[in-house]
Chains A and B, each alone.
Chain A
Amino acid sequence: MKNIRWGGLIGFIIITAAIAGSFLLFAEPLARSFLQTQLSQLNKAKVDIQAVDIGYSPFSLTITNLQATDASQPMSNMFEVAQVKFSLSLSDLIYKKFIVDDMSLSGIKLNTPRKTSGTIETPKKEKDQKDLLNSLDLPKIALPDIDDILSKEPLTSEKLISELNLDIQNTQKNWQLINQDINDSNRWAQYENLYNTIQKDLKGNFSQKLQAVKSAKKLSKSLKAEAKKIKQARKTINTDISRLNDNFKAAKESPKEDIKRIKEKYSLNNLNAGNITQLLFGNKAAEWVRLAQTTYDRIKPYIGDDDKADEEQQEAPARAGGKNIVFKEYNPKPGFYIRNISVDAITERGRFAGIISDVSSNQSINKQATRFKLSGKDLKHSDMEVIKGELNYIKKTKGFSELVYSITRHQLNDYPISKSSSLPIAIKKSLMDVATKVRLQNGVLAGSSRLNFNDVDFSTKNADKGNNFSRMLANSLEQVQQFYLDIKFSGAIENPKLKINSDLDKKIGTQLKAQLNKRKLAFEKNLKSKIENKIKEPMKKLETELQQLNKIKSKLNAKEKELQTRIASLKKQIRF
């Protein structure tokens, strides 16, 4: 017994008690510091805790005034919780497992300002994301200047008129030659003299009569040749007249072709009001999706599909503390598990309360999906608002997240749709119902959202400063009192596709299209009128020239007739 120091036992007790006492004394600041560090790392921005109180029977923690910075906006808190209270299983804590049966979060406030920046790392510069609401690519439906078009566009009608003019002139020259030949006065005088001689000889003696018959045959032959020439000339003239008339008709019709070509060239046929809903709400919907993406990114670390969270340091190098060998657990539990969280949040819209159940770092262990349901109470602007969902990763390969959101009779006041300088649009007031169901599985989004707007009053300031479309759209929007939006989500969560349908297209589109068509028709009419004016004089000249040609044709016909009469008369006389 002489080798035993009983005083040493007292010393041991004192030292142990001192260690335990120090732990108890510093446990709360240590826990506060530990929680702040861990939660900040998880949040990727500062998480501040005012105080942590530890209760030892049962072992519980009360966190007072927890502020989680919004990583994207370091000067504001994503949320603030006045009090987080939960009891912990101490035996599970020894197993390095954070198991909580009931947790209550009270006094939650969203988006509160911070006094100091809550950034813990240089914020990554977001990809050039322009403010979608500030841009509204309105269709450019300004019609081109007709005089400008006519000054630089070669008209087919003008070309045809010019060609026809040349053709008429050439034809006229040909006809004049033919006419001169046919109406050769010397030749016809010779025929006249011969005819008179025949007439005279026929009254003479036998030899004279014989000569007359001979001359008559000669004359008849000549006249037949003349008749044939005239017939040929008439045929040529008819062909020419037919061609010239056809070309004249083509020239007369050519303005239509010109208008058609100009419309195509200046894409006037493609001018339409477009998908109004996509135009108005496309950016807004993209903004909602971006908000959903950000929210998803924030809650992603808490979704229980992470095996690594429960693995102990399997591959840690030896010098950094060795390796913890994991053996089979008789009663396996996830590294982090909260059975029930009761939430009570006060937001600008009212009070939201509900339950989040089975929050787990590894759902495949506890076999329960995380479910949540938050309902609004005493809402300021809505009759009812409910958000519920399920994060089910019990089977990793079939894991999914599902969100159902509904809001009834939500009063929208001065809700901006577009802040575009060309056409700022806002819903001045409206009652909105929303029903959304979205499912995310294997990184692929699928879902739909139905938004009904009633008693709508659109506000379209500065519409007069915008382009024609702005004015037309503003006028049309003023007539809309109710409409719906059907938004379908699909594709990868990082780059989802949105398909928006709405009766707005019908309601606004019909009016817009009518206005647009009216403008297009007026433009066409004006263009036609200007082209016709441009070719009016040349066409008139052509018409006159064609008439001249027709006169020649008439003369030729008369000449042929006269010739036929002469030949008939000659034949009659020769018979004697």
Chain B
Amino acid sequence: MLSQIIKFIQILSSETAPVQISAGIALSMIPGFSPLFSLHNLLVLLVLLMLRINIAAFMLGLAFFTAFAYLLDPLFHSIGQLVLTQEGLQNFWTELYNSSFWRLTGFNNTIVMGSLLVSLAAFIPGLLLGNFLINHYRNDILVFLNNSRIFKAFKSSKLFTKIIAAAE
């Protein structure tokens, strides 16, 4: 976990485009919140591998959101149930329910539906927020740290070398 965090800090500090990192984190919300072996996660995997999305950021995000998901399960359940039992959507859901493909997705499960909706809804805001935070980190925080004597001393210390070695 520590190595993941150090790698993530390294990525944050690297030349990698901020959108690649924030997309990795935002995308990780989908498999992180929803049950891992859901069919839609295969699509997430495809997107992750085909687009230039930072995989380390995705992995870190996945670990974080998976742990967080347990706390949010009741919320996902409530949202999923609300959507799946909407009177106006019953015909639509019934059509999907009678399709083998959609049944494979497990869309009629309240947590699958709730978590997917929440993660999709949070995707764009997450992406934008991530971009903003990374840019702010690189332009302000990282510049400040690099000019700081304490950080310079820390970077030249043996402890820093050991941490980097451990992360690699």
Contacts and interface: CB of A to CB of B under 8 A. Distances in A.
Q: Do A and B make up one complex?
A: yes
Interface of A: 2-6, 8-9, 11-12, 15-16, 91, 94-95, 318-319, 321-331
Contacts, number: 82
8 contacts: A15-B49, A95-B103, A321-B109, A323-B81, A323-B110, A327-B93, A328-B97, A329-B98
A318 B74 contact: yes
B77 A327 contact: no
Contacts of A326: 108
A8 B45 CA distance: 10
Given A94-B103, A325-B81, A325-B84, A4 B52 contact: yes
Residue in A4, A11, A12, A331 with the greatest tally of chain B CB atoms within 10 Å: A12
Given A8-B51, A318-B73, A318-B111, A330 B98 contact: yes
Nearest to B42: A16
Nearest to A4: B50
B72 to A, nearest CB: 10
B73 A4 contact: no
Contacts of A328: 94, 97
A2 to B, nearest CB: 8
Interface string B91-124: 0011001101001101011111010000000000
Given A318-B73, A324-B109, A9 B103 contact: no
A319 B81 CA distance: 14
A483 to B, nearest CB: 63
Interface in B51-78: 51-52, 70, 73-74, 76-78
Contacts of B81: 323, 325
A3 B54 CA distance: 11
Top 10 nearest A-B pairs (CB, nearest first) are: A322-B111, A8-B49, A318-B77, A327-B97, A322-B110, A8-B50, A325-B84, A327-B94, A12-B49, A94-B100
A326 B73 CA distance: 20
A9 B52 CA distance: 11
Contacts of B45: 12, 15
Given A15-B45, A327-B97, A5 B73 contact: no
Nearest to B23: A3
Given A94-B103, A95-B103, A9 B50 contact: yes
A321 B97 contact: no
Interface of B: 35, 42, 45-46, 48-52, 70, 73-74, 76-78, 80-81, 84-85, 90, 93-94, 97-98, 100, 103-104, 106, 108-112, 114
B150 to A, nearest CB: 38
Contacts of B50: 4-6, 8-9, 12
Contacts of A329: 97-98
A322 B77 contact: yes
Contacts of B106: 324
B77 A11 contact: no
A8 B54 CA distance: 12
B35 A321 contact: yes
A324 B108 contact: yes
Given A322-B73, A330-B98, A331-B98, 14 more contacts: A2-B52, A3-B52, A8-B51, A9-B50, A94-B100, A94-B103, A318-B74, A318-B78, A319-B70, A322-B114, A324-B108, A325-B109, A327-B97, A328-B97
A319 B104 CA distance: 21
Contacts of A324: 106, 108-110
Contacts of A94: 100, 103-104
A322 B112 contact: yes
A3 B49 CA distance: 11
Contacts of B70: 319
Contact of A325 (B49, B52, B108): B108
Contacts of B94: 327-328
Given A8-B51, A9-B49, A330-B98, A322 B109 contact: yes
A446 to B, nearest CB: 43
A11 B49 contact: yes
